[in-house]
Structure formats: C-alpha cells, structure tokens
Amino acid sequence: MALDLAFELMMLLTGGCALLVSAWLFWRARRQRSMKALAGFGVMMALWCSGHVAVFYGWERLGKMLILANPLMPTFFLDFAIGFVNQGLGRRPWLDNLARRRGLFYVAALLVLGISLALGGGDIISFGPFSHYFVFSGAGWFNIIYTIAIGILAHALLLWGWRIHRGNRRRSIAAMFAAGAWGLWLATSFIFPSLGLYWYPWPMLLLPTYVVLLVYGVVRYQMLEVNAWANRALLWILMTALVMGLIALLSSMAGPFGMQALANVPEWQLWLYSMLLLMLALALYQPVSKLVERLIYPGSRLDEQLLDTWLNRLAEPSHWAGLSAEAEQLLARQMGQPVQVRLLPNEQRPPVVEGPCIICRHQNPGWQSRLQGFEDVTPGLRLAAEVFASLLTTRCSLLERSLQLAEAERKRLSEQHLVELGGLSAAMAHELRNPLNIISMASAGLEAERKAMIQTQLKRADRLISDMLAYSGNIGVQRQSVPLLAMLNSLRPQFDWQHTRFECVLSDDVRLNADAYRLQQVLVNLIDNALAFVRNQPNGVIRIEAGDQPGIVRVHNNGPAVPEDMLNHLFRPFVGKRSGGSGLGLSIVRRIMDAHGGRIQHRSDMGWPVTFELFFPEDSSC
C-alpha cells in the first residue's frame, strides 16, 4: 500500500473514531458539561484530521483553516479538565473563578485562529511520498505554541486534581495522563517537516488509538458499559491480529507446499477477505447466539428487563409470607405452572412437597437455595428457576437483615420505654404505699366484714404496684439447675384452688436451667392467671407437664379459649380480661422468658382450650 494512501486512511479512521466517540459521549453526557466538552474535543480532532485529508486532495484553503483551528482542541480539553477536577471538591474559589471565565479561552482560541489565517500560518509543500503536506510558517508558530501552552495548562490542572482526588476520579486522571503521553508521542512526528526534518510521520499511523484511549481512560471508571465495550473490542482486535498473522503465514508457506494458486493471491486480498469474514461473523454473532440459546434452552426468555422486574417485585414484601407469595406468583407467570416456594429463615428441616418447589434455607454462613421436583421441567425453564432462586436467595438475606434491624430498633425503644416506666413506677409505688399503709392501720378498728373488704382491696392494690415494678424493672437472671417438681410442690399451698384439680405430670429428674426466683414468678403468674378462669367452673383442671424435648414445659387449663382478636397481642401489657388482675401477668412472663433467652407461646392444638408452652434453652450462654 502507498505510504501517502496509508496516511490518508489513518486520518479518515481517526476522524471517524473521534466523531463516533463524541456522539456517544454527547448522548450519555445529559447535563454533564465536562463530558460535553470532551465530546467537543473529539469533534475538533475529527475536523483537524479532515484538514489533512483536504490538503491531500488539493483543497488547500479549507485544509489550512481546519488544521490551524487546532487551538480549539486543547481549549475544549481544558474546559473538560476544569469541570472534571472541580466535581466533588467543595468550594475552591480560584477554580470556581476559572470555571466561570472559561469562555474567555474559547475567545482567545478563535483570535489565534483568525490571526493565523490572516497572516498566513502555514504552507503546502511536497516531500517524500506526499505531493501535498501542511507545514507551519510565520504566525503558524504562534498558533502551535499557544496550542501547546493550553494543553500544558490543562494537564497541569489534571495533575493538581490527581493530588487532591481519591478513588475512581484519581484513577481516571492517571489513565488520561497515560493516554496523553501516547498522543503527544504520536503528534510530534507531524511537525518534523515544519522543522526541516523531512521524515515520514510513522507514529501518525497509530493516531486512531489516541482518541479512543483518551476517552476510555476518562470514562472507564465512571460507566460500566464502557468496560464491557472495551472487553469486546479487545477480543475482536486480538482475533483480527491472529487471523492476519495466520493469513501471512499461510501465504508464505503456500508455495513450498504446492498451493501455487494461493501463493499467487496478493496478501492484501487475503487480508481483505479475512476482514470481511470477521465483520460478517461480528454481525451474525448476536442472532446466532440467540438461536443457539433457544435450541439449548427452549422456553427460556431471560433478559435484563425481566430480571429488573423480578428484583423490583421481590423487593416489595416486608415479611416472609409476603415474599413467598410474591415469588410463587412471579414463577407461575414465568413458567406457566404453579411452583411452590418455601422460605426457612430459622434453619428448619426442608418440608416434603409435591411438584416443582424452590426451597430457600438459612444455613451458616448464609442463605442457600435448592430446586426440588424439577426433573421433568424443560432445560430452559429450569435455567429460569435457577436464576430466580439466586435472586430470591439474595432478597432473603436482605429481608433477614432488615427484620433484624427492625427488631433491634423495637427492643431499643422498648428498653427506653421500660426505663422511663421504671422511674415512674418507683415514684408511684413510693407515693401510693404510704397512704395504703395509713388506710390499712385505720381499718384495724372496724368490724370484721368491713375490715376484710378493705384488706382485700388493699392486697389488690399492692399486687398491682408489685406487678408494675416487676414489669418495668431490670430483669437479671442467674441460671442454675432447678428441680421443677420440687418447686411446684412448694408453691401449691399458696393458691386458693377451691374446686380446681391440679395435675402435675412430672418426674423427679425434670430440671430447668433457669433463675429460681424468676422461674417461680413465671409459674405463679401462669397458675394464678389460669385459676382466675377455671376456679368457678365445674371440673376445672390445671395441668403441668414436660414437653417432648429438654427445657420445654407446658401449662394447660380447660378454661375458655383465648378470643381470636387477642392472640396477636396476648403478651402485651394491660390487654388481659382476667377479673381483678393487673393486666401485666403474661407481659411479665414474656419479659422473664426473653431474659433467659427462651420463649413463651400460646397453643390451642394440644387437646386443651388453653396451653402456654415455655422453652428454656439448655445452653447457659444464651
């Protein structure tokens, strides 16, 4: 290929790359002035390259004007550098003033261009393979010196920004310096003939890489799609280089191996055919890839929009039941058949289900998903289910963390409330017990019936005060092994059983790892609460028995069942309907169980109208 033609093609290629990159930058920039200025830099580089092509074809006046407009290139780059460095720095008065006055640099660049054109800033000469080549002369040297000075100012500003910034912006500036050094080395060969050095500008043949590397260095840490594009571009460049190398090797070895017809084909034709084949492969890659995906995974239609829809819909539920229902609905719509979803946040054993099912289970160190019953599902739908299960696992982790934070906040507010209530209760207890004692002493001389009535109400008031202090106070526990049967036998005499039958189905070896005093409070409150409902009914029974696992105790009674509207807030204070009670008994039991690291729950599936199940953990560190 002729050297002058190679130069022309590289100028055209550089201009085309600059225009394409500038158009993409301008489209992506939206309201970012710095990126629009960088797009302007690319446009000016395209015009500068077009000036060389115009000179090459004899359009000297147009070519000179476009080449002498090169001060606008570093001016656009300076505009970009000011905006890029100024982002995220806070107030820098000198930099803000520079940003407000950057329009003056464009005015100065236009003045330099006008002076260069008016005074004749360049000539067209012939040397080597070039019949038309631009060289600077006269005012053109002022033009090139001004251009270099503005470029130095822009890079000095970037160097200052590199020292100030951190993270991705600092990395972008470093990448710009690397690309700038490469571009400077390429551009120096252009002015050799202007200096009387009539050398062929070989580095200019690589100029198309400069604008691409510069823009890539700016945005590679800012836009994810740029890195994906660079990955594909590098792949195809390597493939092109490999094919061209193989063609050259094949052409050189064709003659000795008797393939004379192939050896007689010019290398440029072989390379041209190879490039056409590569371009055809590039054009057909996407449709062929989709066709293969349809053949391998029939029925699978996973795209970015569908994944975004899944993520957004799965992010809406705020509890496990809602997340499970939403997941089942999304899967049924995608797969065209019902799919069960089981979420097991407490490391439960996976259930046995029929049909397709996705099981997400919490296991250390995190959540894991498993497909069950997908043996007869097509590969495409199975792939969709696997992708969905992965997204669901991530959502389960986020929901678990959200619920934990909400529970921690609830406990914090509850503890703060209890601290305030504790101070109020202590003050009230002190203020109330003094007049109650006076009333008790004043009733000593009354007749027996009236005295008994007053004493009963005084005991009730004292019990209410004691319950308030117990509920609002700090509950500390000192665990030890407590024999449950012995404790119950010691407590039995203090209750007014009347006609209620008490059944204690416990062996002597049943022991609980608990605080003895707090355990006694729990048992007294539960038995006293049960007696209030079954004492006056015929055949009233209270039964205490051990559970099927260590640490579990159940307290049954055959009183009336708990109303449905009370189940959700049964252990909250002041919601009980027990006659004469304080409304704090079950709340105190709940607080004591929480202090032990255990739990209490109401059950109605044990064959009794009312059952309270207690669980005390065996591990003393709980």
Residue 622's pLDDT band, with cuts at 50, 70 and 90, is very low
What confidence score (pLDDT) does residue 581 get? 53
Q: What angle do CA 282, 286, 287 make, to 5 degrees?
A: 115
Least confident of 50-64, 82-96, 144-158, 305-319: 82-96
Higher-confidence residue of 329 and 568: namely 329
Percentage of the residues of the chain whose pLDDT score is greater than 90:
16
Residue 604's pLDDT band, with cuts at 50, 70 and 90, is confident
What confidence score (pLDDT) does residue 225 get? 46
CB contact set of 542 (below 8 Å; sequence gap of 6+)? 500, 501, 502, 503, 527, 530, 531, 534, 555, 556, 557
What confidence score (pLDDT) does residue 335 get? 79
Least confident of 232-236, 307-311, 340-344, 512-516: 232-236
- Write the DSSP string, 407-445: HHHHHHHHHHHHHHHHHHHHHHHHHHHHHHHHHHHHGGG
Q: Looking at the predicted structure, is the pLDDT value of residue 156 above 80? A: yes
The tens digit of pLDDT for each residue in 336-364 reads 788 888 888 776 666 777 788 888 888 77
Residue range 249-255: average pLDDT?
A: 70
Q: What angle do CA 572, 578, 583 make, to 5 degrees?
A: 35
What confidence score (pLDDT) does residue 218 get? 66
The tens digit of pLDDT for each residue in 437-495 reads 777 777 777 777 777 778 777 766 766 666 666 665 567 778 899 999 999 988 888 88
Fold classification of 477-615 (topology level): Heat Shock Protein 90 (3.30.565)
Cis amide bond preceding 379, omega within 30: no
Residue 620's pLDDT band, with cuts at 50, 70 and 90, is very low
CATH number for the segment(s) 3-222? 1.20.1070
Torsion of CA 563, 567, 572, 575, to 10 degrees: -10
Q: Looking at the predicted structure, is the pLDDT value of residue 580 above 60? A: no
Positive or negative CA dihedral for 451, 457, 462, 466?
positive
State the greatest distance between any 2 C-alpha atoms of the chain, in Å, as a whole number.
137
Domain boundaries, the chain: 3-222, 242-296, 304-403, 477-615
Residue pointed to by tokens 């049967």:
485
Taking the mean position of all CA atoms in its chain, how far away is CA 486? 56
Q: How far apart are CA 614 and CA 556, in angstroms?
A: 11
Q: Looking at the predicted structure, is the pLDDT value of residue 104 above 90? A: yes
Question: Would you say 501 and 542 are in contact if contact means Cβ atoms under 8 Å apart?
Answer: yes
Structure token digits, residue 203: 């580095």
Query: Count of alpha carbons within 13 Å of 120, Cβ hemisphere only?
Result: 4
The tens digit of pLDDT for each residue in 57-100 reads 889 999 999 999 999 999 999 998 898 888 767 668 888 888 88
Same CATH topology for 3-222 and 477-615: the answer is no
What confidence score (pLDDT) does residue 621 get? 41
Structure token digits, residue 446: 């009354």
Question: Whole-number mean pLDDT of the chain?
Answer: 80
Give the residue from 6, 41, 47 showing the smallest Cα distance to 205.
6
Structure token digits, residue 187: 């551009």
Least confident of 45-59, 94-108, 285-299, 383-397: 285-299
Q: Which amino acid is at 72?
A: L
